[in-house]
Structure 1
Amino acid sequence: MRRISDYFKLGEVFRYFLRVFRKPDPNRPTSVNLRMMHGINRISIIMFTICLIVMIFRACTR
């Protein structure tokens, strides 16, 4: 049985967020599909962060 703390480990998620914004590794093969997927992920992460900031700002100013 897993402990509750195992469900809240977000290290893999944060490592992916940081990896998406780095330059690609020249040793790994790249394709157009992979580059497009990472580009869309960058846009969605940035939009999510902006919306989160706006929601926090609105909640604090009320």
Structure 2
Amino acid sequence: MKRSTTPVTSPAKPLNSGHIKAGAVQYPAHRVDAAFAEAGLDRGRVVAFVHPDRWLTLFERLH
């Protein structure tokens, strides 16, 4: 598996709110919504409470 260093969230916009979707502004809204649905995550989920597997699902769906 090829490793990527592409961040899931935008480095230009820190996660000030602590919610995942707040940092995913670099992607079209429909793609973000679809990725969240596939990962089974609520848009307002606090970053600290997201299991690493869900981050991988988000990344895979957005890239």
**Normalised TM-score (structure 1):** 0.32
**Greater per-residue helix proportion:** 1
Higher-Rg member (1/2): 1
Q: TM-score, normalised by structure 2?
A: 0.32
